[in-house]
């Protein structure tokens, strides 16, 4: 962190750090400015804003494209290669939103590069292929670029026929608008990153702590943390995925000439949910090749989604150590209460039998043996079971103490081994130093201080080893 420094040369940045402005609150966040004059904090804010605008523009274009496709289908145009005035205007709006998404995409990755420049990383000047490669953002940039390309272009129409599985003479015809809208659903992959960007917006200390702990704050890290902190956001993402895959199945099955069950969105949504939950009733099935491809993807996503939901529920239901200690204390209290009740019943039964035998002796009758008395045997059996449960739950105090002593003995053994290794490494150095001629032993003051410090470390190690040995002997 560079704060309140003037005329200080920084080798990593190759420039002079600017002085701290008056009235600005000190922070642990790096505020080194690059050639643009913006700090790392400011670039992070810009990066988040650019990505939010990028996702908004891209998803808005997707929604408009869906409206265009549904308008063409329900306006009885069907497979005709013609547009209405409304659909042409909406396609132009989709093109404008996609163009703005590309502009925001370049601004977003330029902000990512400038963030690393603000951290003191030497990169190629400007925004180009090499700077993206050096920051390890090249492949993600290529992916984002290609998922923004598909869109229903105005005045562009063609059809593709894919042979059917059963009716080879009647292929399933897909229009260009239908295929481009299906490919535009790749933009849904931006949603997890959008959630991560919003969750990390303005949290500079999170980045500082992550760098101190050598942890990368990527999308997967944020999604995993949201399973514990905000499970509703994950459910929202899963719901978006379910509706998106349902509409893709509808796009694949609706042009089928012999379509029966999957001609409406409700049946497609039912099929998606049943497939993702690995139930598979078999009452609704796909009929086209593209439908089977999408169903395979849905099945694979379902396995991942179900496992994530289970892990999220387990993480939410798992008790923290403080809550677990309270539950353990309650269980132990109940076990002690049951053991105390069983013991008191046994004592009462024995005393009552003894008093009854005493009265029988005074009256001249033959007394009953206590050990063979059925009530006493039943109470003794109940007491034994209660004692076994208490021993299993609480444990024997002597056994617990012996386990703790054994644990301490193992720790002392490890300490003694470490001290012996330190002592063994220091003794050869002292012998080598003593074997040198007097002229070779003359060292500067820093070397003499180092030797003195090594001697102190050796003495300390020897005393610690002796203390560990004494403690071990006491434990034995």
Residues in the chain with pLDDT < 50?
1-31, 77-78, 440-450
Please report how the helices 40-74 and 204-212 are oriented relative to each other, as an axis angle in degrees rounded to 10: 110
Q: According to the model, what pLDDT value does residue 167 have?
A: 65
Q: Is residue 181 within 8 Å of residue 247, measured between CB atoms?
A: no
CA-nearest of 93, 53, 62 to 186 is 62
DSSP label of 75: T
pTM > 0.75: yes or no? no
Residue written as token pair 């509706």: 243
Distances (CA, A) of 370 to 253, 261, 356, 359, 379: 83, 79, 11, 15, 12
Q: Collapsing DSSP states into helix, strand and coil, what is residue 15?
A: strand
Please give the full DSSP string across 178-200, using - where no structure is assigned.
HHHHHHHGGGGGHHHHHHHHHHT
Q: According to the model, what pLDDT value does residue 6 have?
A: 37
Q: According to the model, what pLDDT value does residue 248 have?
A: 93
Residues composing the chain: 476
Residue 64 half-sphere exposure toward CB, CA atoms < 13 A: 22
Tokens found for residue 240:
């978006």
CA distance 245 to 204: 36
Kindly state the greatest CA–CA separation across the chain: 119
Q: According to the model, what pLDDT value does residue 423 have?
A: 77
145 backbone dihedrals φ, ψ, rounded to 5°:
-65, -40
């Amino acid at each position: 962190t560079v704060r309140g420094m003037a005329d200080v040369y920084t080798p990593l940045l190759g420039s002079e750090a600017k002085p701290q402005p008056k009235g600005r609150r000190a922070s642990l966040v790096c505020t080194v400015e690059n050639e643009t004059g913006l700090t790392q904090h400011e670039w992070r804010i810009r990066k988040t804003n650019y990505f939010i605008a990028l996702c908004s523009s891209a998803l808005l274009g997707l929604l408009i494209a869906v409206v265009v496709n549904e308008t063409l289908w329900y306006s009885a145009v069907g497979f005709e290669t013609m547009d209405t005035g409304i659909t042409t205007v909406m396609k132009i709006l989709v093109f404008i939103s996609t163009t703005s998404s590309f502009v925001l995409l370049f601004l977003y990755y330029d902000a990512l590069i400038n963030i690393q420049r603000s951290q003191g990383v030497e990169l190629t000047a400007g925004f180009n292929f090499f700077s993206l490669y050096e920051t390890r953002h090249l492949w993600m940039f290529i992916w984002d670029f290609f998922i923004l390309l598909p869109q229903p272009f105005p005045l562009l129409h063609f059809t593709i026929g894919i042979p059917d599985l059963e009716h080879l003479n009647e292929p399933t015809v897909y229009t260009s608008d239908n295929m481009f809208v299906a490919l535009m659903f790749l933009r849904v992959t931006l949603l997890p990153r959008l959630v991560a960007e919003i969750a990390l917006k303005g949290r500079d200390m999170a980045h500082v702590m992550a760098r101190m702990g050598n942890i990368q704050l990527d999308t997967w890290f944020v999604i995993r943390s949201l399973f514990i902190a905000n499970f509703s956001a994950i459910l929202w993402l899963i719901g978006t995925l379910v509706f998106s895959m349902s509409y893709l199945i509808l796009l694949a099955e609706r042009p089928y000439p012999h379509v029966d069950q999957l001609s409406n969105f409700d049946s497609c949504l039912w099929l998606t949910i049943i497939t993702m939950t690995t139930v598979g009733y078999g009452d609704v099935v796909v009929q086209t090749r593209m439908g089977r491809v999408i169903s395979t993807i849905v099945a694979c996503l379902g396995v991942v989604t179900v496992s994530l939901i289970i892990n999220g529920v387990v993480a939410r239901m798992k008790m923290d150590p403080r809550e677990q200690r309270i539950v353990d204390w309650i269980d132990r209290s109940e076990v002690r209460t049951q053991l105390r009740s069983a013991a008191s019943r046994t004592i009462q039964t024995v005393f009552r039998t003894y008093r009854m035998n005493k009265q029988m002796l005074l009256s001249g009758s033959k007394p009953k043996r206590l050990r063979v008395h059925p009530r006493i045997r039943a109470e003794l059996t109940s007491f034994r079971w209660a004692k076994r449960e208490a021993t299993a739950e609480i444990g024997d105090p002597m056994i617990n103490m012996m386990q703790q002593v054994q644990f301490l003995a193992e720790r002392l053994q490890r300490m003694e081994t470490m001290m012996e290794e330190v002592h063994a490494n220091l003794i050869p150095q002292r012998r080598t130093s003593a074997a040198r001629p007097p002229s070779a032993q003359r060292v500067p003051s820093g070397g003499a201080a180092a030797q003195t410090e090594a001697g102190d470390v050796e003495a300390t190690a020897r005393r610690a080893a002796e203390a560990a040995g004494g403690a071990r002997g006491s434990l034995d």
